[in-house]
Amino acid sequence: MTRIELQTLEDRWRVYVDRFRTDGVLHPMHQLKLEHSIRVSADARAIAGGMGWPDDEVNLAEAVGLLHDTARFPQFEQYGTFSDAESVDHGDLGFQTLEAEGLLAGLADEPRALILHSVQYHNKKELPRILTAHEEKHLRLIRDADRLDIFFICWESIRTGHIHDNPEIAMGIDFNGLPSDAVLDQFESGEAIDYRSMQSMADRFVLQLSWMHDLSYDSSKRLVRERGLLEKFIDILPVKTDRLLNCFETTATLLEQA
């Protein structure tokens, strides 16, 4: 994707987002998603650049980053929530919205299908097996970039006392509670964290550590390290137990190898 194609996409996407403004102002929840999308597009560019991808691939990664949460705008307008379980799958709706709004008009078939699939599958639990190698490369990148920003949002919202404005992060769990044995066991054995075992914000942090282990690209791990995210997390941990801090040590070792 050329720089000009990327700029065209961005202009068109911003016009689409502007439709959700009232008297020039977005609903605060929409504003959060606009800012998230912009940061994710910058992170996608940084990760792709960090892996030494050529310019057209870096531009494509940035485009996917900007567009990945397009469905958050109609989703919140229609259902008043970002909970997919209570409304609609926002990856699938993103695919449909990009198509219905003609946001990818003029792109060649291959990058167009790649963007649609990356948006559709960015939020799925498992990577689908039906993608081309090129599509999977970009899907992995948007999943890394999205998580990188979730790490930032989690830290920022606790630091500024706005955690409860982010129900996706607060998840209705006990902010000051101890980490649960089940979650620590899962992390230590390298298993996926079962959301049903999560009871405290400490558990939420362990989940995020597990996501750091799941990052696909070394340049994503380097960004986590360079941004000092582990140290930032430790600063704001509501409880610090030895076993919890050991999990952080494990992750720090992993990041140093990237």
Residues in the site for Fe ion, rule: CB under 5 A? 69, 123
- Rounded distance between C-alpha atoms, residue 62 and residue 42, angstroms: 7
Which C-beta is closer to Fe ion: that of 123 or that of 200?
123
Q: What DSSP character marks residue 180?
A: P
Nearer to Fe ion by Cβ, of 57 and 69: the residue is 69
| Minimum CB–partner distance for residue 148 and Fe ion (Å) | 13
- 23 three-state secondary structure: coil
Q: Which CB atom, from 97 or from 123, has the smaller least distance to Fe ion? A: 123
Q: What is the DSSP letter of 200?
A: B
Smallest gap from Cβ 146 to Fe ion, in A, equals 6
Q: Which is nearer to Fe ion, 43 or 69 (CB)?
A: 69
Distances (CA, A) of 17 to 38, 61, 254: 12, 20, 38
Answer for the pair 139, 42: CB distance below 8 angstroms, yes or no: no
Q: How far is the CB of 137 from Fe ion (least distance, A)?
A: 19
3-state class of 115 per DSSP?
helix
Give the nearest distance from C-beta 32 to Fe ion in angstroms.
12
Kindly state the smallest distance separating residue 245's Cβ from Fe ion, in Å: 31
47 CB-near residues (< 8 Å, 6+ apart)? 61, 141, 144, 145, 148, 217, 219, 220, 223
Least Cβ distance, residue 248 to Fe ion (angstroms): 26
- Nearest-CB residue for Fe ion: 69
Question: For residue 132, what are its two tokens?
Answer: 């081309």
Of 154 and 184, nearer to Fe ion (C-beta) is 154
Nearest to Fe ion of 41, 123 (CB atom): 123
Assign 174 to helix, strand or coil: strand
Q: Which of 64, 230 has the CB closer to Fe ion?
A: 64
Is residue 140 within 8 A of residue 220, CB to CB? The reply is: no
Contact call for residues 123 and 83 (beta carbons, < 8 A): no
CA–CA–CA angle 24, 31, 115 (5° rounding) = 110
The distance of closest approach from Cβ of residue 91 to Fe ion in the complex, given in angstroms and rounded to an integer, is 7
Question: How many H helices and E strands in the chain?
Answer: 13, 0
